[in-house]
Structure 1
Amino acid sequence: MIRVEQPRDLLQQVGRSLGATEWMAISQERINQFAQASEDHQWIHVDPERAAKGPFGDCIAHGYLILSLANKFLPELLLVKTYSLGLNYGCDKIRFPNSVKVAQRIRGVGELISGEAKPGCVQVVVRIVVEIEDEERPACVVDTISRFYD
């Protein structure tokens, strides 16, 4: 994790690894809740009996569920102590190289890719790689764009 006092201090941290978050398990309950919220009830996510016979051998998490967890991982990887407002400005280069099966554990590994002073704020790009425990390929790789206002 990188800890800085103010947004402008991020500019000196570009290129640094942010480390890794704690592991978290992906439960069928979480997948079902995401299916409800997103109205994506595809059987590979929510029907364990059918999914057991499918291409993954089990239910898998929605790719967008895994992507949404970048919002959980980011403050666990990067802490700005003094700022008035933090905004999610968007994402670049989102990829889903692997699927997360029910009960697998994931974590976020971060790197501060770039930083730029903007009027009243600092904009940073943090690459988050969502690793799956005991898997070679990650579940998701995303370049998040955040703005921290003074």
Structure 2
Amino acid sequence: MPRIFSSLDEVRTALGEQIGPGQPVVIDQQRIDAFADATGDHQWIHVDPERAKDGPYGTTIAHGYLTLSLLPLFGADLFHLDFGGARINYGANKVRFPSPVPVDSSLTATATFADLTEGPAGATLTIKYAVTASGAAKPACVAETLVVITP
């Protein structure tokens, strides 16, 4: 169940605290292929299981941007901001893909509220995510995202 925040003060109190990990999400070949179709990225390392057997990972791997695109899903599982108006994706300060996500991996994520600034358009919340594949020594994705919470 996601952790619920009812005010900016509650968010401010949670700065620096890790939330999660959340529920696992399995990355199967169907999801990888659907992402390839949506983005036009049909590189063999993602979509050709036969060729990928002889590739560097011995199987297909998820696109890094597929893993990144799951942050809203992971975030909804980890926390809910139950106040303010709209939530607007303002972008990312930093994104890295330290390790691959082999097909059929189970991913979990943690989130840490890193910063909160208030301005005329609303409050900007900086969230650091770490997404890890089961059994991996390093995260598959680390990203620092920015969300504007409108009044």
TM-score by length of 1: 0.94
- C-alpha contact (below 8 Å) 1:25/1:104 kept by paired residues: yes
1:116 corresponds in structure 2 to: 117
Cα shift at 1:83: 2.0
Greater displacement, 97-106 / 74-83? 74-83
Instruction: Supply the distance in 2 between the matched residues of 1:83 and 1:7 (Cα, whole angstroms).
Output: 9
TM-score by length of 2: 0.94
Instruction: Supply the distance in 2 between the matched residues of 1:100 and 1:79 (Cα, whole angstroms).
Output: 27
Q: Deviations over 1:77-101 (max 9, x none)?
A: 2211122111111011110000001
2:76 corresponds in structure 1 to: 75
Mark the runs of 5 or more structure 2 residues left unpaired by the alignment. Answer: none
- C-alpha contact (below 8 Å) 1:3/1:78 kept by paired residues: yes
Instruction: Supply the distance in 2 between the matched residues of 1:45 and 1:2 (Cα, whole angstroms).
Output: 34
1:30 corresponds in structure 2 to: 31
Instruction: Supply the distance in 1 between the matched residues of 2:78 and 2:65 (Cα, whole angstroms).
Output: 20
Cα shift at 1:120: 4.3
Cα shift at 1:21: 1.1
1:88 corresponds in structure 2 to: 89
Structure 2 counterpart SS, 1:11: helix
* TM alignment of 1:105-144, pairs within 5 A: 105-144=106-145
Please list every run of at least 4 consecutive aligned residues from structure 1 whose deviation after the TM superposition is greater than 4 angstroms.
none
Instruction: Supply the distance in 1 between the matched residues of 2:92 and 2:50 (Cα, whole angstroms).
Output: 35
Instruction: Supply the distance in 2 between the matched residues of 1:60 and 1:104 (Cα, whole angstroms).
Output: 9
Mark the runs of 5 or more structure 1 residues left unpaired by the alignment. Answer: none
Greater displacement, 19-28 / 71-80? 71-80
Cα shift at 1:140: 0.4
Cα shift at 1:16: 1.4
Cα shift at 1:18: 1.4
